[in-house]
Amino acid sequence: MVVEIRIDRVSKWFGGIKALDNVSLEVSRGEVIGLIGPNGSGKTTLLNILRCLLKPDRGWVEISGVRLNGMDPERLADLGVASIYQFPRVIKDLTVAENVALAVLKRQKNLWRAELLAIEYLKDVGLGGKAHMLAAKLNRYEVRLMELARAMAMKPRVLLIDELLSGLSEEEQREIRGLVRSYLDSSGATAIWVEHAIGSLVREVDRLVVLNYGSLIADGEPEKVIRDQRVIEAYLGSYTIA
């Protein structure tokens, strides 16, 4: 198996807070990893290190064999890495199609054609009808769908997803889970998918990894991991169980 993402003994401090404590993780090409953990356990920090937005204080990270520590984040898209952030990143004054078109402009410089391409991706997530609306008009669910289409439009080899399901209804979560899963199946992309709730990714991912206070406390088959005593305690210790 080819290792697509390699995280090796990574630690990260914010002042006195140790956000990540000696975390190691290897993700094979095409594998879909679920990363869960209570609030503040370091999930976003780990993704941001992979996005080159943060530099690890100790250890190193690698995607497709390329060392990332301190790399210019501008080069990440060339490596085939796409991100969906915990907090939506929408350009409200552009149309929905333009928001997605920006992601294909790298390979299609003609705005008109880029928009047509963008509309195809929007149709895939069921937003075809809203392509020409201003993005400011979308509700939270539609924004997340748009961001999914934008990530898909980049044809990523590696997809980093952060709390895509938070704040959505059961119905909406089910819909998005299905879309992401079928996209990952058909594209063969490698993914790290962060969610907060313990049960949210059991059926969607190949492997489930749990962070608690910056440490990796479990890594394995989803069904087993959610029954792991340490995982349950970590979630009980914090105030949320879902």
Partner 1 sequence: MELFDRMVSLILLPLIYSPLYVAVSLGFNILFSSTRIINIAYGDLVMIGAYTAYWLYAIYKIPPIASIPVAAVIGIFIGYVMYTIIYNRILASGSVSVIEEQSIIATFGLSMAIQGVVAYLWSPTAVSYTYLEQGVAIGSILVPLNVFIIMITGVIMAFTTYILLYRTYIGVAIRGIIQAPRLALDIGLNTSKIYMLASIISTVLPVVAGAAISMRVQINPFMGVEYLVIALVITALGGLGNPVGSLVGAILYALMDSAIGYLLPPGLKLFYLYTLFLLVLLVRPTGIMGRPQVVR
Ligand X SMILES: Nc1ncnc2c1ncn2[C@@H]1O[C@H](COP(=O)(O)OP(=O)(O)O)[C@@H](O)[C@H]1O
Q: Does 95 bind Mg ion (CB under 5 A)?
A: no
Least Cβ distance, residue 158 to partner 1 (angstroms): 13
Distance of alpha carbon 40 from alpha carbon 48, whole angstroms:
14
Q: Does 34 bind ligand X (CB under 6 A)?
A: no
CB-count burial class (<10 Å; 0-12, 13-18, 19+) for 172: middle
Nearest to 74 by CA among 45, 97, 51: 51
- Of residues 28 and 238, the one with the C-beta less far from ligand X: 238
- What residue 21 binds from ligand X, partner 1, Mg ion, none (CB within 5 to 8 A, per partner kind)? none
Of the candidate residues 4, 21, 31, 98, the single one contacting partner 1 (CB under 8 A)? 98
Nearest to 33 by CA among 6, 66, 57: 6
- Of residues 35 and 117, the one with the C-beta less far from partner 1: 117
β-strand partners of 83: 160
Q: What is the DSSP letter of 100?
A: H
- What residue 190 binds from Mg ion, ligand X, partner 1, none (CB within 5 to 8 A, per partner kind)? none
β-strand partners of 17: 14
The residues in 10-39 that bind partner 1, with binding defined as CB under 8 A, are none
Least Cβ distance, residue 160 to Mg ion (angstroms): 12
Judge whether 242 and 165 are in contact, CB under 8 Å. no
CA angle 141, 221, 3 (to 5 degrees): 85
> Interface residues with ligand X (CB under 6 A)?
14, 17, 19, 37, 39-45
Which positions lie near partner 1, rule CB under 8 A? 51, 73-74, 76-78, 82-83, 89-94, 98-99, 101-103, 105-106, 109-111, 114, 150, 154
